[in-house]
Amino acid sequence: MGYFTNSALGTFARVLIDKHGNKACDMEVLVRHPYPSPREIHDDFALDSEGNTYIAAHSSSVFKIAPDGQQTLLAGGMNTSTLK
């Protein structure tokens, strides 16, 4: 399984990859960015052992995406360094 963000589309997605390194199915969009501003779009990410995803956004924000798709702003935001 390969995971990726597409900043231009504001998506976090995955795709099944076969043993030869080829795409084995269409991509599955897991999350679409909840905010319309291009400054808030998803960029890099990390996965944990419980199925959560942590996604950094262009505005110095970090979002937690739960396995059920619920998104929570954990840190940052426009012009802030607040942690939640």
What are the two backbone dihedrals, phi and then psi, of residue 80, each rounded to the nearest 5 degrees?
A: -145, 160
Question: Contact at 8 Å (CB) between 47 and 53?
Answer: yes
Question: What is the model's pTM?
Answer: 0.71
Q: What residue ranges do the domains of the chain occupy? A: 2-75
Domain 2-75 indexed as CATH 2.40.10: yes
Say what the pLDDT of residue 21 is: 93
Please report, in angstroms and rounded to a whole number, the separation of the first and last CA atoms in the chain. 31
Half-sphere exposure of 52 (CA within 13 A, CB side): 12
How confident is the model over 16-30, as a mean pLDDT?
92
Closest CA to 51 of 39, 68, 35: 68
Say what the pLDDT of residue 18 is: 95
Pull the structure tokens for residue 17.
């990859």
